[in-house]
Structure 1
Amino acid sequence: MTASASEQPLIPQPPTTVAALRQAVAQIAPAALPAFTRELDQAADQARLGSDLAPLQRFTAHWSVYVQIQRQPRLAARFAALEGQATTADAQEARRAAAEIGRILDEARAAVAQGMR
């Protein structure tokens, strides 16, 4: 049995480089490009001021996870719905939504780490 088109990733997970991530964001979530650019500029400034690559590594790790989620339409829609629930639902529902968001992020981080091997 094959997966439906809505279950297939829009693009392959890109390498964890700024250029590849920028291209992926432009393709699957162009509205996020201003945030990508702003955060990249901040990370580059922090790296330069601290003579440390950690801010750029955190930036690429964050955006790799973002792309991992957003390239999967059903998962991205579920993630967005959960974000809404976490901010608008009663406390119990908000906790459940936050827990599921955490699981999705953990799975996305693991998938990105697996792809880097």
Structure 2
Amino acid sequence: MTTDAAGQPLIPQPPATVAALRQAIKQIAPAALPAFTQELDQAADQARHGSDLAPLQRFVAQWAVYVHIQRHPDVAADLRHWEDTAESGDAAQARHAASRIGHILDAAHAAVGLPAR
């Protein structure tokens, strides 16, 4: 899974629906499919018990951001790098890594039309 010379995403950003996100994950991050399914089941259960769609809306938003990032292998690699640094670095490195992670997530939220975290 690579981008072309112009750095184009692997696939177009899918609509923010469960079916479209599932299909995108199958294509670009198949290892994440079990987590997607488990979290979908949990969100559906929470929505049923609370008679509220908010858990499903949060689920779709979270996975739309995930797909947006994974569509860009360079961005996904940067995110993994900063997550590793936050986990294994000293306090200053962890703060810097958290800032970089925040920038990546904010950009992804904006790209899929969601407010910043």
- TM-score, normalising length: structure 2: 0.92
Map of 1:84 onto structure 2: 84
Partner of 1:109: 109
Deviation digits for residues 45-101 of structure 1 (CA, Å, limit 9, x no counterpart): 000000100000000000000000000010011111111001001110111001010
* AA partner of residue 28 (structure 1): I
* Structure 1 residues 22-61: aligned runs within 5 Å: 22-61=22-61
CA positional deviation for 1:19: 0.1
How many aligned residue pairs are there?
Answer: 112
Cα distance in 2 for partners of 1:41, 1:53 equals 13
d(CA) in 2 for partners of 1:13, 1:86: 28
Tell me, in whole angstroms, the C-alpha distance in 2 between the residues paired with 1:4 and 1:50: 45
Higher-RCO chain (CA-CA 8 Å, sequence separation at least 6): 1
Q: Which runs of 4+ in 1 moved over 3 A?
A: 3-6
Unpaired runs of 5+ residues, structure 2, are none
User: C-alpha separation between the residues in 1 aligned to 2:90 and 2:71?
Assistant: 30
Distance 1:72 1:32 in 2: 16
Query: Secondary structure at the residue paired with 1:57?
Result: helix
- % identical aligned pairs: 68
Instruction: Please list, as runs of the form range in 1=range in 2, the aligned pairs for 1:90-105 lying within 5 A after superposition.
Output: 90-105=90-105
For the Cα contact (< 8 Å) 1:6–1:74, is it kept in 2?
A: no
> What one-letter code is carried by the residue in structure 1 that aligns with 2:82?
L
Unaligned runs of 5+ in 1: none
If each structure's helix is expressed as a fraction of its own residues, which one has the higher value?
A: 1
Q: 1:5 aligns to what SS in structure 2? A: coil
Deviation of residue 6 (structure 1)? Answer: 7.1
